[in-house]
Structure 1
Amino acid sequence: MTEEKIIDDEGHFHAQDEAVDLSDTIAEGWIALAIFWALGLTVFYQFVTRYVMNDSAAWTEEVARYMLIGLVFIGAAIGVAKNNQIQVDFFYRHMPAAMGRWLSRAVDVLRIAFFVAAAVMTVQMMLKIGSNTRMTIVDAPMNIVYALCLFGFVAMTWRSVQVARIHWRRGYSVLERPETTMADR
């Protein structure tokens, strides 16, 4: 079996890209991608109107800011689904396995509870401000922005439940075995 070389004997560079597989991309990923592209187009339009036409479109800064907020909250669901939050697994290495297992379950439950509480508080805030509170420049209700945040929190809650079910079904979490990933189902 011959090993494929990146640079052959004549000095030519040979590289082959891996096949792109988007089949495991979650719905929130596609929504975040759409918001990202809309944000990019808005900022590009802002650049053109400001520096090329010397007549800045005032609405672009506000809309771009709100799109970025939506992108962060919806995109955070991707991190939750992949279980990529910051974690400290040092203590899990030094505690008894049974204790680590129960602590890991507690982390799963607390994560779900946190996102549920955040979603509930977002709904309460949306009800409190109502539809009378408007954006500064664009004449649209601020609840549009909070609805994006709410969607993100609900998605994070749903993905946290899925992650917890995977952890409970396989008998360990990434906290207990940091060398594993969510793909190791």
Structure 2
Amino acid sequence: MTDGPEERVSAPTEAPEIHFDEQEIDLSDLKWDDVPVFVIFWILAFVVFLQFFTRYVLNDSLGWTEEIARFLLIAVTFTGAIMAVRKESHIAVEFLYRWIPRTGRRIAQAGIDAVTIAFFGFLTVLTIRLAGRTQQMMVSIDVPKSYVYWFVALCFGGMTVYALVNAWRHLRTGTSKLIDPQLHAQGVPRTD
């Protein structure tokens, strides 16, 4: 005999089905100038795998893989930044744009474009100067370290060019992701 109410143990119920919404992956915005970032990425992946394999499987690490992987990571970062500028996918604060009238958003977009062009242009000049002054060689292989800085300068130059193209497009069309976010969210085709 029990002192309290009887506890009923119910039979286990079926687990609810989980449905995932399959989203179609859209690669239509990739262009020929996005190929270098993918090539550098896969070279980086190979070098890191080689470093792991030689260190932990063969127990005899290749010394050059760590330095080369570091420089390839720099290369993939700056090459990817060019792609982000082209696609206008860098981080932007869109919160305040919702309460600004459209004319104010156009003025703000022009200001953002001017600051972006000036910033990338300044960094291009700065890295060119840095590359010209660098005399060091890489530690593990006999290659000048200035090559890395020249590559970064080239990437900043590419970002500057795409920032100019984007600014021109914004002025010509009168719209952008920040000026008319509702149009760009619906997938309005770009006119480039």
Using structure 2 for the length normalisation, give the TM-score. 0.79
The change in CA–CA distance for 1:33 and 1:60 in structure 2 (over 3 A counts) is: same
Match of 2:180 in 1: 177
The farther-off stretch of 82-91 and 25-34 is: 25-34
Q: Distance in 2 between matches of 1:61 and 1:79?
A: 27
What's the secondary structure of 2:109's corresponding residue? Answer: helix
Q: Deviations over 1:83-122 (max 9, x none)?
A: 1111112222222322221111110111111101000000
Q: Distance in 2 between matches of 1:124 and 1:144?
A: 13
Report the structure number with the largest CA radius of gyration. Answer: 2
Sequence identity percentage: 36
Unaligned runs of 5+ in 1: 1-16
2:34 to 29, 44, 52: 29
2:71 to 66, 69, 93: 66
Q: Distance in 2 between matches of 1:41 and 1:31?
A: 15
1:183 Cα offset (Å) = 6.0
Q: How does 1:97-116 map to 2 (within 5 A)?
A: 97-116=102-121
| 1:128 matches 2:136 | no
Q: Distance in 1 between matches of 2:27 and 2:181?
A: 25
The farther-off stretch of 38-47 and 116-125 is: 38-47
Using structure 1 for the length normalisation, give the TM-score. 0.81
- Residues 75, 152 of structure 1: 8 Å contact kept: no
Segments of 4+ moved more than 4 angstroms: 17-22
Q: How many residues matched?
A: 167
Q: Distance in 2 between matches of 1:56 and 1:104?
A: 51
Q: How does 1:83-94 map to 2 (within 5 A)?
A: 83-94=88-99
Q: Distance in 1 between matches of 2:116 and 2:143?
A: 33
RCO higher in structure (CA 8 A, sep ≥6)? 1
Match of 2:151 in 1: 148
What's the secondary structure of 1:30's corresponding residue? Answer: helix
Unaligned runs of 5+ in 2: 1-22
